[in-house]
C-alpha cells in the first residue's frame, strides 16, 4: 500500500544552523516503496514510504593553479564528490568550546566500536579528535529512510539540539556528512541503559532506590521538557542512560514533539507504555495527516502514564499488564468509554507485598485513566513517596557520616544502603 509523497522542508525553523547550501528533496507516489518501520535506539511505530535522497547544492570553487602561474578569477565548478561535502545542521547552545568548529565531518572522530546497527541507522562509540571527548555517533542513511522518518529526524534535531539540562543526554551537534548520511553527535553514556542495569541487579530494584536513583532525576528532566512543550512519547527503561559517574540521562528524542508548534495526533511510542489516548490514534502515512482533528490530540500527560508503567516495572520486574479494550483503540469511540475500561483494568494491578502504599499510590496516580487527572511531572516530584525516600536517604547519609566522623559519599549517586551492599559492586561492574 503506497502513501502520499512528502516534500521535505528545506530548513529546520528555529535552529542555529550553519549552511553552505539548502537541503532539498522531493518524490512522487510512484517513487515510494511499501510502508516500513524506522529503527533507531528505540522501536518507533511508523507508517511511511521510502524517502528520496537529499541533494546538496553545489558551491563555487576555483580551478587548480600551476605553481608560479597567476590565479584565475573564481568561477562556478562542478559539485565536489559527495564524500567531501559536509553541512552543519545544528549545534547545542551549550557546546563545549573545545568541540566548536565551523566544519564538522566524520573525519573529526576516531570510531572505536559499533553500539547498534539497524536497517537505516547505526550508532558508534567514538572520540572527538579536537577535544578528546567520548561521544556517540548516531548515523542515519537517508536513502534507506521512510519519508515520515526523514520528517521526524528533522524534528528530532530541532528539538534535541536546543535542550540543556543535566539529566537530558546532550546533542552536541548534527551535520550532513554527504548527500546520504546525517550524523548526530551525542553525549556518550558509558554505563548503558536502565533496562540492562536493572537486569544486572536481578530484574528489579527496591522501591526506595527506584524513587531516589531513577524517578527523582528523571522527573526533574521531564518537568524541564514539559515546561518547554516537549512531549517525549517514548519513555521506557531502554531510553534512560547512565554516565560513568551514574548521572541519569533521558535519551532518544526520535518521536518527540513540540506541542507549542503542532498537535500530537499519532499513535507513536512503544507497546506497553502507550497511554490509552495514544493507542486510539491511527497510524499515519503523511506527517500532516489528522492534524485538523482536535478530538485526537493528546498532551504531555501521555508521558506521565509511561512514567507509571516504568516505575511499576522497575519495582515488580515487568511492565503492568493493562488489558486494552477495543473501544480504547478506536479513534471514533467516545473517550469516556475507553478510559473507564482502562481505569478498571489499572485498578486491578497486582503489587507485591514489598511495595509500600505510597509507591502504589504514585503508580496509580500516574496511570489515571483520564489524562486530566494525572499529576504533572512537577507534582510527582512532590509526591509523598519521593519525599519520604529523600528524607530517609538524607537521614541514613547523616547517620553514616556521624558514625565515621567524616562525610561518606557513594561512588555512584544512589542511596547509602545500596552503595554499601553487594548490589553496588554488581552495578559498578556494568
Q: Is 166 annotated as a binding-site member?
A: no
Q: Is 284 annotated as a binding-site member?
A: no
* Helix extents (H) in 292-383: 301-316, 326-329, 335-347, 357-366, 377-381
Give the contacts of 375 (CB within 8 A, at least 6 positions apart). Answer: 304, 365, 366, 383
Q: Is 124 annotated as a binding-site member?
A: no
Q: How far apart are CA 317 and CA 329, in angstroms?
A: 26
Residue that is written with C-alpha cell 502515512 in the block = 285
108 annotated active-site: no
Catalytic residue among 108, 178, 234, 327: 234
Phi-psi sector, 192: left (phi>0), alpha (psi -120 to 50), beta: left
* Range 151-156, long-range pairs (CB < 8 A, 24+ positions): 151/6, 151/8, 151/287, 152/38, 152/44, 152/46, 152/254, 152/255, 152/287, 153/182, 153/254, 154/8, 154/9, 154/12, 155/256, 155/257, 155/258, 156/184, 156/253, 156/254, 156/256
CB 233 within 8 A of CB 302: yes
CA distances from 157 to 172, 199, 289, 392 (A): 10, 31, 21, 40
Residue that is written with C-alpha cell 549517586 in the block = 413
Q: Is 373 annotated as a binding-site member?
A: no
Q: Is 187 annotated as a binding-site member?
A: yes
Q: Is 238 annotated as a binding-site member?
A: yes
Q: Is 138 annotated as a binding-site member?
A: yes
Binding residues for ATP: 138, 187-189, 238-239, 252
Active site residues: 234
Amino acid at each position: 500500500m503506497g502513501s502520499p509523497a512528502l516534500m521535505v522542508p528545506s530548513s529546520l525553523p528555529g535552529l542555529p544552523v550553519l549552511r553552505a547550501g539548502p537541503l532539498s528533496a522531493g518524490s512522487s507516489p510512484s517513487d515510494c516503496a511499501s510502508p516500513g518501520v524506522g529503527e533507531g535506539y528505540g522501536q518507533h511505530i511508523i507508517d511511511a514510504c521510502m524517502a528520496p535522497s537529499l541533494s546538496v547544492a553545489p558551491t563555487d570553487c576555483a580551478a587548480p593553479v600551476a605553481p608560479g602561474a597567476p590565479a584565475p578569477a573564481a568561477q562556478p565548478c562542478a559539485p565536489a564528490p559527495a564524500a567531501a561535502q559536509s553541512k552543519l545542521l545544528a549545534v547545542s547552545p551549550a557546546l563545549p568550546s573545545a568541540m566548536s568548529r565551523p566544519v564538522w565531518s566524520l573525519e573529526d572522530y576516531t570510531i572505536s566500536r559499533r553500539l547498534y546497527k539497524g536497517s537505516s541507522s547505526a550508532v558508534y562509540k567514538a572520540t572527538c579528535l579536537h577535544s578528546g571527548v567520548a561521544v556517540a555517533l548516531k548515523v542515519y542513511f537517508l536513502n534507506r529512510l521512510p519519508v515520515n522518518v526523514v520528517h521526524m529526524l528533522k524534528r528530532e534535531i530541532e528539538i534535541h539540539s536546543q535542550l540543556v539540562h543535566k539529566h537530558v543526554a546532550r546533542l552536541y551537534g548534527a551535520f550532513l556528512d554527504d548527500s546520504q548520511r546525517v550524523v548526530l553527535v551525542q553525549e556518550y553514556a558509558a554505563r548503558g541503559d536502565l533496562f540492562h542495569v536493572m537486569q544486572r541487579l536481578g530484574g528489579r530494584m527496591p522501591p526506595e532506590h527506584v524513587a531516589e536513583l531513577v524517578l527523582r532525576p528523571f522527573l526533574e528532566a521531564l518537568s524541564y521538557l514539559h515546561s518547554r512543550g516537549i512531549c517525549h512519547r517514548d519513555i521506557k527503561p531502554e531510553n534512560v542512560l547512565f554516565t560513568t559517574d551514574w548521572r541519569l540521562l533521558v535519551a532518544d528524542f526520535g518521536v518527540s514533539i513540540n506541542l507549542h508548534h503542532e498537535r500530537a495526533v499519532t499513535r507513536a511510542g512503544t507497546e506497553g507504555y502507550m497511554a490509552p489516548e495514544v493507542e486510539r490514534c491511527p497510524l499515519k502515512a503523511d506527517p500532516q495527516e489528522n492534524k485538523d482533528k482536535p478530538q485526537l490530540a493528546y498532551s504531555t500527560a501521555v508521558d506521565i502514564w509511561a512514567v507509571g508503567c516504568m516505575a511499576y516495572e522497575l519495582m515488580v520486574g515487568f511492565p503492568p499488564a493493562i488489558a486494552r479494550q477495543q473501544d480504547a483503540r478506536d479513534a471514533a469511540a467516545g473517550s469516556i468509554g475507553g478510559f473507564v475500561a482502562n481505569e478498571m483494568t489499572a485498578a486491578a494491578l497486582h503489587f507485591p507485598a514489598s511495595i509500600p502504599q505510597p509507591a502504589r499510590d504514585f503508580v496509580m496516580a500516574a496511570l489515571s485513566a483520564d489524562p486530566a487527572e494525572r499529576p504533572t511531572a512537577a507534582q510527582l516530584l512532590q509526591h509523598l513517596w519521593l519525599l519520604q525516600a529523600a528524607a530517609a536517604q538524607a537521614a541514613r547519609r547523616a547517620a553514616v557520616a556521624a558514625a565515621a566522623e567524616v562525610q561518606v559519599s557513594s561512588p555512584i549517586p544512589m542511596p547509602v544502603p545500596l552503595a554499601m551492599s553487594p548490589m553496588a559492586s554488581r552495578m559498578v561492574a556494568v
